[in-house]
Structure 1
Amino acid sequence: MIGMAREQRLAEIFMEVADSLTEDFDVLDLLQRLSTRCVELLDVSAAGILLADALGELQVVAASDEHTRLLELFALQHDQGPCVDCYRSGAARTNIDLTSPGATANWPRFATRARETGYVATHAIPLRLRDRNIGALNLFQKSPHQLGESDIALAKALAGVATITILQQRTLEQSHIERTQLQTALNSRILVEQVKGILSERWQTSPDEAFFAFRSYARSNHLRLADFATSIIAGDFDTGAIPVPGS
């Protein structure tokens, strides 16, 4: 997507985000949409948003798709990978050739797993506000082309949107609220992972299909993902009401 078409789509996305930032918005769903939009707007194959937990380790909170191997690749970066370097330094790491000896030397487990999964290039953009780093946006490519300056600038803009989404402008100066918001987003992701496992096993479908059905039902019925996941895990909701994927 190039030129005016991409500019128009980007404007629509920023409006979508602005309209979503109500007092009680669903941060997990919004981050999920931003991950998907990264793939839509940039010439990349997958995207994920990782946040630092209380120990400073990166954890995936949203991804452009829910395939297990992709999520495992994000999870590997809690201790090594471009996202870790990006988070610690606050500087973007772009156009990294995962097939190069340097990538293998710097991140042996990560680079090897990425190649096995079919990715040959990656980018890590910090989620940064002033001098505070809270995580990173991770992009993967299955083709070796380089992202140009305009694409990198757009990726940084989307990372900025994600940062503001997480922290919310009205509470940026309140560090205790900031920590609570970060932990809430991470806890919500854990609940969603549990529900994905429950539904995919119950329906004998892939985690990606289970997540799509779960999220679609939640959005159609104006349910927050974390609250909906909690009710399913507690047995308070009859999952028979959710349309089974492929039925």
Structure 2
Amino acid sequence: MTREQRLGRVFVELADSLVDDFDVIDLLHLLCDRSVELLQADAAGLILADQRGLLHVMASTTEEARLLELFVLQNDEGPCLDCYTSGQQVANVDLDEVGQRWPSFYAAATAAGYRSTHALPLRLRGQTIGAINLFCERRSTLSEEDLDLGQALCDIATVALLQERAIRSSEVLAEQLQGALNSRIGIEQAKGVLAARADIPLDVAYALMRDYARQNHLRLSSVATDVTTGAILPADLQPTKKS
């Protein structure tokens, strides 16, 4: 499959997710996954602002990326924060050159094995509601075409989050983002519960819950609740082996 064909499928996949009452968390994870895939990054983390303007880590492709984004928020520095504050891309960042600009982020990112990073805003009509950070284990340089592609993916997700009803009413947007945050907390708890019960890594636990939700046309937050309460057991989440 050519890159153009893959790109077309990704945009269709994103568009197909925009049904009524769509799953915000699943959309954000899909954005992270496809951005990593198409822009040849190694990991991604996404932050989103709540109704009070407080930033939260809402999606990531790996546990390491999630922890690094949490570190960024706790230390109030890094390209993702600059991207969110300015509403502008902060791309092609060679970590060896930014130690003085973001000393804490530099130390944490290089310790995690990353050499470069890119941050793209989730924005619409001058309103920035979040940012996605791509992490690369090598020195990576994105072309203007690559950046336009990554921004287009972010723009689709932003439009989905804001929608007409949210654009008309800030209260609806606030409720949507708060609902996503509440869902994320429940999903993180369920991920830990499943990882402990099944003795598997956190990333694997999340992937099992997400695959189960998609295969059974369920909301990820509902699956997380059932995992936490024991209504769904680890064995129920294992993929069915084909004979």
Provide TM-score, normalisation by structure 1: 0.90
Q: 2:57 aligns with which of 42, 56, 60?
A: 60
RMSD: 2.0
Q: Equivalences for 1:229-240 in 2 at 5 Å?
A: 229-240=224-235
Amino acid at match of 1:175: S
Amino acid at match of 1:40: E
Give the corresponding residue for 2:104.
109
CA contact (8 A) 1:47 1:63 kept: yes
Task: Measure how far apart 1:15 and its partner are.
Answer: 1.4
DSSP 3-state at the match of 1:197: helix
> Runs of 5+ in structure 1 lacking a partner?
none
Task: Measure how far apart 1:157 and its partner are.
Answer: 0.7
In the alignment, structure 1 residue 144 sits paired with structure 2 residue 139? yes
Q: Deviations over 1:179-237 (max 9, x none)?
A: 11111122211111111100111111100111111111111111101122123324444
Give the corresponding residue for 1:121.
116
Task: Measure how far apart 1:53 and its partner are.
Answer: 2.7
Q: Equivalences for 1:70-219 in 2 at 5 Å?
A: 70-78=65-73, 79-100=76-97, 103-219=98-214
Whole-angstrom distance in 2 between the partners of 1:231 and 1:172: 33
DSSP 3-state at the match of 1:105: coil
Task: Measure how far apart 1:154 and its partner are.
Answer: 0.8
Deviates more, 1:209-218 or 1:51-60: 51-60
DSSP 3-state at the match of 1:123: strand
* Equivalenced residues, count: 239
Q: Runs of 4+ in structure 1 displaced over 4 angstroms?
A: none
Whole-angstrom distance in 1 between the partners of 2:200 and 2:85: 38
Give the corresponding residue for 2:2.
5
Whole-angstrom distance in 1 between the partners of 2:34 and 2:133: 13
CA contact (8 A) 1:125 1:155 kept: yes
Amino acid at match of 1:149: E
CA contact (8 A) 2:44 2:65 kept: no
> Runs of 5+ in structure 2 lacking a partner?
none
Task: Measure how far apart 1:146 and its partner are.
Answer: 1.1
Give the corresponding residue for 1:19.
16
Provide TM-score, normalisation by structure 2: 0.91
Give the corresponding residue for 1:47.
44
Task: Measure how far apart 1:135 and its partner are.
Answer: 0.6
Amino acid at match of 1:161: I
Whole-angstrom distance in 2 between the partners of 1:132 and 1:61: 18
Whole-angstrom distance in 2 between the partners of 1:155 and 1:169: 23
